[in-house]
Each structure stands twice: as C-alpha cells, then as structure tokens.
Amino acid sequence: MSKSRFLLLLFVVITTILLYMLPRYVVNNAAQEIDNGTSETSQNPQTTEHEHSFQIPDSVSAKILGFYESFDNAENQEKRIIFADSLAKAYKTVGKLDSSAKYTEIRAIQNPSLDNLIIAGDGYYEAFNFSVDGAKRNFLAEKAQHYYKRVLEENSSLLDVKSKLAMTFIAGSNPMEGITLLREVLDEDPKNELAIYNLGMLAITSGQLERAVERFETLTELDPENPEALFYLGYCQFELGRLEESKIYFQKVLELEIEGDFANASEDYLKRINK
C-alpha cells in the first residue's frame, strides 16, 4: 500500500475527523500548542477540493420521495419527527450526510430534548468529517458547534461531546479554542478515550509519530482490543522503521477477526513487511 493509498484509507476509516486534509502548518502548530502551549496559528485557507458526488439508487430515491410527501403532509409534530428521522436515515444510507444532518436538525427543532440536540450535533459533525469542500466544511462545523454548545449548556459533564466540539475548532479557523477544550477534557478525565484518540490522530498528521505512539499505547492500555489504536500503532511503528514492532500490532488487528478497512490495511502492511 502506497502512502497515497493509506491517506485515502484514512478518509474512509476515520470516524471522527479528516485531520490529514488540514493544511500542514495549521496541524503542526495546533499539535505543538497541545504539548507545550506556545506558537501562533495561521489562518486556515479554504480548500479548492470538490465535494464527493453520490448516485442515489432509484429504489432509495423513491423511498425518499415518499418520506418527503409524508413529512409535508404530516398531521402533527409527532409524525413530522418520525418522517424527519426516516429521511435522515435514508440519506445516510447513501452517504448524503449533509442532507441527513438537516433532518436530524428538524427533529431537534421540533423536539429540543437533550438526546435530540446530541443527535443533531452528531449529524452535522459526521457530515463535517467527510466534507472536503472548504466553505461547506465551515458551515457544517458551525452547525455542529451550535448544537454541541447547547448540549453542554444543559450538561457540561458530557466529555465526548466536548471532545467532538474541540475537533470542529481545531479543524477550523480557531484551533486554540479546540485545544483548550481538549485540555479541559483530559483534566477532567485523563482516560477519556475519544480525546486521547483525537490527540493521537493530530500527532500523526503533524508528523509527531513518537507522540502518537504514546497516545495509542494509552488507548490499548484502556482497551487492549481497540482496532483503531492497534492499527495506528502498527502504522506509526512502520513509519518509524520499527518493522518487527509494527508487525506485532498488525497481527493483533487480524487476531480480532474483524472485517473492513483496518483488517484489509493490516494485511497489506504485513505483506510488505514479510517480503
């Protein structure tokens, strides 16, 4: 697997953010801020990359049209929420995450319970993670921030929400605000797995592989069967030239007997190591 193919794999498998797509100088400065609290961060320029296009199958398109009609003709709020939820799920099945997020938002507007606010925030957060259009990413990040802030106003102890909120800032024009939030999360809970994972990914994208190893080793201490942590430990060791150590982690991924990109990439790396 070439390095470019690995970066493509990251786009597919990272469920929290696409940090590797950030301008290098923003990532470097942000990572240094986490570790030593110094240096200035530059403005994040908009990317010229285009959004991925999705072809919606006719069967799903017909289903979505039916949900639209039911939503528009719903007799009361409860039914509108039901069909908004159906539309969100239908769009998500075909990868239209921004459209899916729109209908999770409608659900939250109709019934702004804490759970629905979290769902709306998560919808926009996921869409933000997989968007490569600069302007759209900023819009989706701001939407996620809006709902996550409302959630934290009601319950500031939801540290995973705070970690996700942090990443929308780090990937945007205000990384320092995100770094401050991540520090707060780790101050409150040094074992918060999402915050540790995010810091590990940030370390990889800024080239601080030794630091990333520390982060993912901490994750494996908390969860020895965490496939993401094991895979990225293998990747970091591979990039550092420690092939035997790298081999151990890739083999551990395969021993989990999981399917998908982490397993496939681990097999690919093992073939390269064993040549």
Mean pLDDT of the chain: 79
How confident is the model at residue 67, as a pLDDT? Answer: 65
Of 171, 175, 170, 92, which Cα lies nearest the Cα of 126?
A: 92
- Which of 108-112, 173-177, 260-264 shows the lowest mean pLDDT across its residues? 173-177
**Mean of the pLDDT values across residues 208-220?**
96
Among the residues of the chain, which ranges form H helices?
A: 3-13, 24-36, 58-72, 77-93, 97-110, 114-129, 134-154, 159-170, 175-188, 193-205, 209-222, 227-239, 243-255, 261-273
- Residue 248: pLDDT band with limits 50, 70, 90: very high
Which range of 31-45, 148-162, 164-178 scores highest in mean pLDDT? It is: 148-162
- Residue 253: pLDDT band with limits 50, 70, 90: very high
- Residue 92: pLDDT band with limits 50, 70, 90: confident
**Mean of the pLDDT values across residues 159-184?**
89
How confident is the model at residue 115, as a pLDDT? Answer: 95
Q: Could you read off the pLDDT of 46-91 as tens digits, one per residue? A: 233 333 345 666 666 766 666 656 666 666 777 777 777 778 888 8
How confident is the model at residue 56, as a pLDDT? Answer: 67
- Residue 210: pLDDT band with limits 50, 70, 90: very high
Whole-angstrom distance, CA of residue 241 vs CA of residue 248: 13
Q: Which two tokens stand for residue 229?
A: 């942590």
- Which of 97-101, 149-153, 236-240 shows the lowest mean pLDDT across its residues? 97-101
All domains of the chain, ordered by start, with CATH?
Answer: 22-37+56-207 (1.25.40.10), 211-275 (1.25.40.10)
Is the predicted pLDDT of residue 130 greater than 70, yes or no? yes
**Cβ(99)–Cβ(131) below 8 Å:** no
Percent of the chain with pLDDT over 70: 72
